[in-house]
């Protein structure tokens, strides 16, 4: 099977105020995410320190680094699963200090998890409907009384859920129990559940983990498709360098909780510090 | 959509089963074909079905362990008794008075449900079990201190914390009557509960719980149970939905308590002790966590059983244990379910795949 490797069109990355770079097309809009001097300690361990990052409105950004570098911790800081010890996070220009995980989601960040976290006893459809929770507006009393608003809202939500499932061609698994899906399908479902919350920034933690090369190739296309359809920013953590170098416009490299390099795929691949700390170790 | 239909079918079968059982038992009861011991159990069984269904909302659907469900039944029972007894003159029509008493019982339990639930359910971790355990004990002791009477001046309520006071300290008028006499409990209750009222309460509890489960709020409650972190990440307010399940469950237990209390001439608070909470929990666990019709079957079978087993005298506990195991297998065990499915093939199973 000699498939031609798809080439994804990337934006030219341009300097934004000072040290950061964002895609040229996002230059006139407030960046979706601006972290400055973000950090957290676990006991004596500086898991993340002085983390600065700016992501454009429609950028696909990559966060890479060896195992234990602090990548997942960054996601947990952004979504307030952990409260940062230091630093600020601006989401669409708004400070997220003091917000809870749920409020962060309402502000526009949705995520997936490195260790899949589905509602595994519920069906695929129900998982997405939970994602659509905030989009539906009827209350508990309306559902107990089965008022017309209940049926209307449920019908619309189920239609929307089917549309989302069609992104990955998963319509016929709608009634399967989520926990019984194959691994790759569970990862895709997690992405759809996150998308259902109507985010402006989608965080993907190792979305290609456990996928075979053809599934990964399909995933790459779909991530770009999702960005283009929903006009959102995507930030992903991934060990598959084909995926990262293939679709990520800005890439940030983390090692021992510190940012050791930032730049485009070309810049990162030729950065000696990165090669030594990260790519070098693997060979 | 298929799943919705399947769920709707199961719900429909549950409503139908309950209604048919009620009609049969009601005809037998009014025709005088039931032994007095069975007839006397009809109302309590309805109360305990409501208790099991409501506890299943907390333990099965919301995934929190509550060990004090009988405490809410107690609050509802004594609240309902006070309401019914003091309204005896004002509302002579018994069914209306019973309805008011049930609503009052439910409201009392809702208030206590908030008092217990708000501080506990905001915490992460399994604190609910220990707090509800303590609550069940405390509420019993509090009611044992309660002196309540009624006369033309209205309700007289006194807390006999020192243990030195008696019902005479309420200084009721000649025509007044004592409602709750401390550790002696509620006395001189006019029995106004009825089997049809029990049936209506069961149906109401079923409509509330089943319709809630198959809705946005119910899905949120189950999502939080399945994965709290993921639920937060999609924007769910954890405390709100845990509290919703808990307080709603308390309300139903309070309503069941009021119906239960007004089924007897007198009632002591120790009737709703830890053992009663555990008994209801046993019904829920054996009927299957999250399985509403399972709770109903388990309650009916296990509530009737000790009575029905009288004739086995010495072997009574042995047979009871065997039936417990059988109920558990029938409602909870996937392999047995698969076996039953092969023996009795159903169309429902075929199109679910
Ligand atoms: N809750 C926690 N408590 C203590 N240490 C933690 C916690 N979460 C992560 N760490 C530590 O922080 C470091 C970074 O972890 P992580 O962000 O998961 O790395 P990765 O880059 O592989 O995703 C690791 O050394 C990990 O052990
Ligand atoms: Mg990680």
CATH number assigned to the domain comprising residue A86: 3.40.50.300
Between B169 and A130, the higher pLDDT residue: A130
Structure tokens at B239: 């405390």
Q: Would you say A105 and A133 are in contact if contact means Cβ atoms under 8 Å apart?
A: no
The residue among A68, A69, A87, A67 whose CA lies nearest residue A77 is: A87
* Any B CB within 8 A of A77 CB: no
Q: Is residue B316 part of a domain?
A: no
- Candidates A113, A144, A154, A175, partner chain B, best to mutate (most B CBs within 10 A): A144
Please report the atom of ligand 1 found closest to the CA of residue A43: 4
Average pLDDT, chain A: 92
Structure tokens at B171: 């200084």
pLDDT, one tens digit per residue, over B276-297 is 999 999 899 888 888 999 999 9
Q: Is residue A89 part of a domain?
A: yes
Are A136 and B216 inside 8 Å of each other by CB? yes
Last residue of a domain, one of A196, A227, A251: A196
Give the pLDDT band (50/70/90) at residue B334: low
Same domain, A281 and A203: yes
Q: Is residue B312 part of a domain?
A: no
Q: What is the mean pLDDT of residues B106-132?
A: 91
How big is the A-B interface in CB pairs under 8 Å?
105
Residues of chain B with Cβ-Cβ distance to A134 below 8 Å are: 235
> How many angstroms is it from A101 CA to the middle of ligand 1?
18
Structure tokens at B52: 């099991």
pLDDT above 60 for B75:
yes
Q: Is residue A57 part of a domain?
A: yes
Same domain, A103 and A20: yes
Are A144 and B211 inside 8 Å of each other by CB? yes
Query: Starting from the edge strand earliest in sequence, which strands make up the sheet with A33-42, in order?
Result: A45-55, A33-42, A86-91, A94-95
Please report the atom of ligand 1 found closest to the CA of residue A71: 21
What is the spatial distance between Cα A256 and Cα A76, in angstroms, rounded to a whole number? 16
The residue among B175, B203, B6, B163 whose CA lies nearest residue B88 is: B175
Give A6's contacts (C-beta < 8 A, 6+ positions apart).
Answer: A217, A220, A221
A76 lines ligand 1 (CB under 6 A): no
Q: Is residue A276 part of a domain?
A: yes
What is the spatial distance between Cα A135 and Cα B220, in angstroms, rounded to a whole number? 13
pLDDT, one tens digit per residue, over B234-266 is 999 999 999 999 999 999 999 999 999 999 999
Which residues span the domain enclosing B174?
2-273
Please give the pLDDT value at position B253: 98
Please report the atom of ligand 1 found closest to the CA of residue A69: 21
Q: Would you say B142 and B112 are in contact if contact means Cβ atoms under 8 Å apart?
A: no
pLDDT above 90 for A207:
yes
Ligand 1 pocket mutation, candidates A67, A68, A257, criterion most atoms within 8 A of CB: A68
Are B234 and A130 inside 8 Å of each other by CB? yes
- In degrees and rounded to multiples of 5, residue A43 shows phi and psi of 60, -120
Same domain, A95 and A226: yes
pLDDT above 60 for B336:
no
Structure tokens at A85: 């010890």
Last residue of a domain, one of A176, A196, A216: A196
Distances (CA, A) of B325 to A25, A171, B51, B295: 67, 40, 21, 15
Please report the atom of ligand 1 found closest to the CA of residue A254: 21
Centre a 10 Å sphere on the Cβ of residue A113 and count the other Cβ atoms it contains. 22
Same domain, A152 and A269: no
Q: Would you say A35 and A273 are in contact if contact means Cβ atoms under 8 Å apart?
A: no
The residue among B68, B82, B78 whose CA lies nearest residue B115 is: B68
Same domain, A26 and A84: yes
> How many angstroms is it from A223 CA to the middle of ligand 2?
19
* Any A CB within 8 A of B207 CB: yes
Structure tokens at A250: 């800005």
Closest chain B residue to the Cα of A124, Cα to Cα: B3
Q: How far is A71 from chain B (nearest CA, A)?
A: 17
* Any A CB within 8 A of B223 CB: yes
Same domain, A185 and A266: no
Q: Is residue A8 part of a domain?
A: no
Give A208's contacts (C-beta < 8 A, 6+ positions apart).
Answer: A187, A215, A216, A219, A238, A240, A243
Please give the pLDDT value at position B70: 97
Between A234 and B338, the higher pLDDT residue: A234
Which residues span the domain enclosing A180?
120-196
- Whose Cα sits closest to atom 10 in ligand 1? A47
Closest chain B residue to the Cα of A193, Cα to Cα: B234
Please give the pLDDT value at position B200: 98
pLDDT above 50 for B352:
no
Residues of chain A with Cβ-Cβ distance to B220 below 8 Å are: 130, 133
**% of chain A residues with pLDDT over 70:** 96
Between A10 and A229, the higher pLDDT residue: A229
- Whose Cα sits closest to atom 27 in ligand 1? A68
- In degrees and rounded to multiples of 5, residue A261 shows phi and psi of -165, 150
* Any A CB within 8 A of B234 CB: yes
Q: Is residue A2 part of a domain?
A: no
Same domain, A101 and A208: yes
pLDDT above 70 for B347:
no
Strands A33-42 and A86-91: antiparallel
* Any A CB within 8 A of B351 CB: no
CATH assignment at residue B203 = 1.10.3470
What is the spatial distance between Cα B3 and Cα A67, in angstroms, rounded to a whole number? 41
Last residue of a domain, one of A168, A196, A224: A196
Q: Give B185's DSSP letter.
A: -
Q: Is residue B290 part of a domain?
A: no
pLDDT above 90 for B173:
no
* Any B CB within 8 A of A134 CB: yes
> How many angstroms is it from A47 CA to the middle of ligand 1?
6
Distances (CA, A) of A40 to A85, A91, A93, A160, A251: 5, 19, 22, 38, 21
Same domain, A26 and A83: yes
Same domain, A154 and A129: yes
* Any B CB within 8 A of A167 CB: no
What is the spatial distance between Cα B238 and Cα B220, in angstroms, rounded to a whole number? 9
Are B219 and A122 inside 8 Å of each other by CB? yes
Give the number of domains in chain A.
2
Please give the pLDDT value at position B350: 36
Q: Is residue A72 part of a domain?
A: yes
What is the spatial distance between Cα B98 and Cα B87, in angstroms, rounded to a whole number? 10
- Long-range contact list for B130-134, CB < 8 A, 24+ apart? B130/B67, B131/B68, B132/B65, B132/B66, B132/B67, B132/B68, B132/B69, B132/B71, B132/B277, B133/B67, B133/B68, B133/B274, B134/B68
Helices (H), chain A: 71-78, 101-107, 124-131, 140-145, 148-167, 183-196, 213-230, 241-247, 265-269, 272-274, 280-282
The residue among B296, B276, B295 whose CA lies nearest residue B285 is: B295
* Any B CB within 8 A of A96 CB: no
pLDDT above 70 for A175:
yes
> How many angstroms is it from A114 CA to the middle of ligand 2?
6
SS3 for A82? Answer: coil
Q: Give A12's DSSP letter.
A: P
The angle at the Cα of B96, spanning B91 to B97, to the nearest 5 degrees, equals 55
Are B223 and A130 inside 8 Å of each other by CB? yes
Are A117 and B216 inside 8 Å of each other by CB? no
A83 lines ligand 1 (CB under 6 A): no
Please give the pLDDT value at position A279: 56
Centre a 10 Å sphere on the Cβ of residue B276 and count the other Cβ atoms it contains. 20
pLDDT, one tens digit per residue, over B143-165 is 999 999 998 888 889 888 887 88
A193 lines ligand 1 (CB under 6 A): no
Pick the range with the lowest mean pLDDT from A78-87, A264-273, B192-201. Answer: A264-273
Distances (CA, A) of B196 to A129, B18, B26, B54: 38, 12, 8, 19
Q: Is residue A115 part of a domain?
A: no
Please give the pLDDT value at position A171: 95
Please give the pLDDT value at position B36: 85
Q: What is the mean pLDDT of residues A261-275?
A: 89
Closest chain A residue to the Cα of B220, Cα to Cα: A130
Please give the pLDDT value at position B42: 95
**Residues 240-279 (A) with a CB less than 8 A from some CB of B:** none
Are A117 and B215 inside 8 Å of each other by CB? no
> How many angstroms is it from A265 CA to the middle of ligand 2?
21
Q: Is residue A141 part of a domain?
A: yes
Please give the pLDDT value at position B351: 34
A115 lines ligand 1 (CB under 6 A): no
Helices (H), chain B: 2-30, 36-39, 42-56, 69-86, 94-121, 128-144, 195-213, 216-226, 228-233, 238-261, 274-287, 292-308, 316-332, 334-343, 347-352
Give the number of domains in chain B.
1
pLDDT above 80 for B318:
no
A255 lines ligand 1 (CB under 6 A): no
A39 lines ligand 1 (CB under 6 A): no
């Amino acid at each position: 099977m000699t498939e031609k490797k798809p080439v994804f069109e990337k934006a030219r990355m341009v300097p934004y105020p000072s040290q950061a770079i964002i895609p040229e097309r996002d230059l006139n809009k407030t960046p979706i995410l601006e972290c400055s001097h973000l950090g957290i300690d676990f006991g004596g361990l500086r898991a993340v320190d002085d983390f600065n990052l700016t992501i454009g409105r429609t950028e696909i950004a990559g966060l890479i680094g060896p195992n234990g570098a602090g990548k997942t911790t960054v996601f947990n800081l952004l979504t307030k699963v952990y409260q940062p010890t230091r630093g600020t996070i601006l989401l669409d220009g708004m400070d997220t200090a003091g917000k809870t995980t749920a409020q962060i989601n309402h502000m526009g960040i949705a995520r997936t998890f490195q260790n899949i976290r589905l509602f595994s006893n519920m069906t695929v459809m129900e998982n997405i409907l939970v994602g659509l929770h905030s989009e539906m507006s009827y209350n508990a009393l309306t559902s107990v009384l089965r008022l017309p608003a209940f049926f209307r809202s449920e019908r619309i939500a189920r239609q929307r859920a089917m549309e989302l499932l069609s992104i990955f061609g998963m319509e016929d698994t709608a009634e399967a129990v989520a926990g019984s899906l194959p691994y790759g399908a569970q990862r895709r479902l997690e992405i759809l559940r996150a998308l259902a919350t109507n985010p402006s920034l989608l965080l993907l933690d190792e979305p290609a983990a456990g996928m075979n090369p053809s599934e990964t190739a399909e995933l790459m296309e779909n991530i770009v498709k999702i960005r283009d359809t929903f006009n959102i920013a995507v930030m992903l953590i991934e060990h598959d360098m084909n995926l990262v170098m293939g679709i990520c416009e800005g890439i940030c490299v983390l090692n021992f909780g510190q940012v050791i390099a930032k730049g485009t795929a070309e810049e990162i691949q030729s950065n000696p510090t990165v090669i030594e700390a990260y790519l070098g170790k693997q060979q | 959509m298929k799943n919705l239909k399947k769920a709707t079918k199961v719900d429909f079968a549950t409503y139908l089963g309950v209604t048919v059982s009620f009609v049969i038992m009601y005809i037998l009861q009014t025709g005088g074909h039931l032994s007095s011991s069975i007839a006397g159990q009809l109302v309590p069984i309805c109360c305990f079905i409501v208790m099991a269904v409501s506890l299943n909302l907390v333990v099965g659907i919301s995934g929190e362990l509550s060990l004090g469900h009988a405490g809410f039944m107690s609050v509802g029972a004594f609240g309902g008794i006070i309401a019914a007894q003091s309204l005896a003159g004002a509302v002579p029509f018994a069914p209306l008075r019973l309805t008011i008493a049930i609503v009052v019982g439910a409201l009392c339990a809702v208030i206590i449900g908030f008092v217990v639930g708000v501080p506990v359910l905001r915490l992460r971790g399994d604190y609910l079990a220990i707090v509800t355990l303590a609550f069940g004990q405390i509420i019993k002791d509090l009611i044992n201190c309660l002196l309540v009477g009624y006369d033309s001046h209205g309700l007289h309520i006194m807390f006999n914390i020192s243990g030195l006071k008696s019902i005479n300290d309420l200084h009721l008028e000649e025509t007044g009557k004592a409602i709750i006499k401390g550790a002696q409990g509620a006395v001189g209750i006019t029995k106004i509960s009825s089997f049809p009222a029990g049936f209506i309460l069961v149906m109401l509890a079923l409509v509330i719980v089943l319709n809630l489960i198959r809705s946005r709020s119910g899905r949120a409650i189950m999502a939080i149970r399945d994965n709290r972190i993921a639920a937060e990440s999609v924007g769910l307010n954890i405390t709100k939905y845990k509290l919703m399940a808990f307080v709603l469950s308390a309300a139903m237990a309070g309503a069941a308590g009021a119906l239960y209390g007004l089924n007897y001439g007198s009632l002591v608070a120790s009737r709703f002790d830890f053992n009663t909470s555990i008994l209801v929990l046993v019904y829920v666990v054996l009927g299957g966590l999250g399985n509403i019709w399972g709770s109903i079957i388990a309650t009916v079978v296990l509530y009737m059983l000790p009575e029905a087993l009288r004739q086995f005298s010495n072997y009574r506990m042995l047979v009871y244990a065997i039936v417990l195991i059988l109920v558990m297998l029938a409602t909870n065990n996937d392999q047995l379910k698969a076996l039953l499915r092969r023996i009795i093939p159903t169309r429902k199973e075929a199109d679910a795949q």
